[in-house]
Amino acid sequence: MSEIITGPRPLLAQPWPAGAGPFAGQVAIVTGSESGIGRETARALCAAGAAVVLNGRNAERLEHTRQSFADAGLTVVSCVADVTDYASCERLVAAAIQAFGRLDVLITNASISQRAYFADMQPEVFQRVFDSNVYGSVYPLKAALPHLIRTRGSVTFISSISALNGMPSGSAYCAGKAALSNLAHTLRLELDHTGVHFGVVHIGFTQNDADKRVLDAAGQPVLIAHRPPRWQKTQAGVAAIILRHIRRRRKRTVISVLGKLIVLLHTFFPRLGDWIVLTTTRRLRHFYE
């Protein structure tokens, strides 16, 4: 089943009573949860009763997030791990089992984005972006799968609406995010007998932390491309949608009116969709660059 979110929905405003909530007794790993959407998704899971393993590569920022959660009375531990390294992912999963004894939910949120045209990109930069979006989901899942099978748990890959139809200046990012959809579909078929849920959430434009950066053609961090504020959802709003996706065990959730339009054009009017992208590339280059 697929869900397309087009309008505002209620947020998880208040934590549930201790020991209650739709995720009570469950344990979740959220990769890339030291900041941004991952952090707010972890916060929402905690508020809904889950114990959460926070993850990131920046030890200082990760500890700051863990401490703020702990100070709020939320049940969390943290693990510094690079999700493009399989051994690190094994340590991440081991941290969850050691702390809480089980694993029910895996959300692969960590990724790197870009602002660079393919012809200008250094090959190693393409690989770095692609690896973060593909192996950054494959490796945590591979390490976590035996535990998720035991609990008939849930896996959610965080993708993007840009994976639904190519976006100029985002070749490696779009390719990696698009691969997650086919990966999830294949895993549903291979592992249907296990009862594990595999879903994909395609996120649209979302408010970013002030220090959010993406890679340019040479691999240097630069500001994310301009996005009109009126098009952006809040991080907490996106987190609430992700939790509803998991609770309903959806196969796919597409967020935003723009996401819905992309699905419509890509499915029924692909030539029109390409014309719109090419036209905006010429007239609104700052939107992509």
CATH of the domain at 249: 3.40.50.720
Which of 83, 82, 176 has the alpha carbon at shortest distance from 129?
A: 176
Residue percentage of the chain with pLDDT more than 90: 63
Instruction: Give yes or no for residue 287 having a pLDDT over 60.
Output: no
Domain boundaries, position 235: 16-260
Instruction: Give yes or no for residue 11 having a pLDDT over 50.
Output: no
pLDDT tens digit string along 149-180?
999 999 999 999 888 887 888 899 999 999 99
The residue-averaged pLDDT of 203-226 equals 76
Residue 203: strand pairing partners: 160
Residue 167 identity: M
Q: Does the residue 3 lie in any domain? A: no
Whole-number mean pLDDT of the chain? 87
The residue with greater pLDDT, 286 or 111, is 111
Distance of alpha carbon 70 from alpha carbon 65, whole angstroms: 9
According to the model, what pLDDT value does residue 226 have? 61
Q: Does the residue 189 lie in any domain? A: yes
Least confident of 159-163, 204-208, 226-230, 253-257: 226-230
Distances (CA, A) of 139 to 142, 171, 176: 5, 22, 14
According to the model, what pLDDT value does residue 16 have? 55
Q: Is 288 a catalytic residue?
A: no
Q: Does the residue 281 lie in any domain? A: no
According to the model, what pLDDT value does residue 222 have? 83
Least confident of 11-25, 46-60, 96-110: 11-25
pLDDT tens digit string along 64-115?
999 999 999 999 999 999 999 999 999 999 999 999 999 999 999 998 988 8
According to the model, what pLDDT value does residue 231 have? 64
Q: Does the residue 269 lie in any domain? A: no
Instruction: Give yes or no for residue 122 having a pLDDT over 70.
Output: yes
DSSP string across 230-266: GGPBPHHHHHHHHHHHHHTT-SEEEESHHHHHHHHHH
Instruction: Give yes or no for residue 5 having a pLDDT over 60.
Output: no
Which of 191, 192, 178 has the alpha carbon at shortest distance from 252?
A: 178
Q: Does the residue 10 lie in any domain? A: no
Q: In the block, which residue shows the tokens 């698009």?
A: 178
Q: Does the residue 11 lie in any domain? A: no
The catalytic position among 117, 135, 139, 173 is: 173
According to the model, what pLDDT value does residue 256 have? 73
- Judge whether 40 and 206 are in contact, CB under 8 Å: no
The residue with greater pLDDT, 213 or 145, is 145
Q: Does the residue 9 lie in any domain? A: no
Least confident of 38-42, 173-177, 213-217: 213-217
DSSP state of 45: H
Distance of alpha carbon 205 from alpha carbon 212, whole angstroms: 13
- Judge whether 172 and 113 are in contact, CB under 8 Å: no
Domain count, the chain: 1
According to the model, what pLDDT value does residue 13 have? 37
Q: Does the residue 255 lie in any domain? A: yes
The residue with greater pLDDT, 212 or 27, is 27
- Judge whether 156 and 107 are in contact, CB under 8 Å: yes
Q: Is the pTM higher than 0.75? A: yes
According to the model, what pLDDT value does residue 283 have? 60
Residue 221 banded pLDDT, cuts 50, 70, 90: confident
- Judge whether 246 and 44 are in contact, CB under 8 Å: no
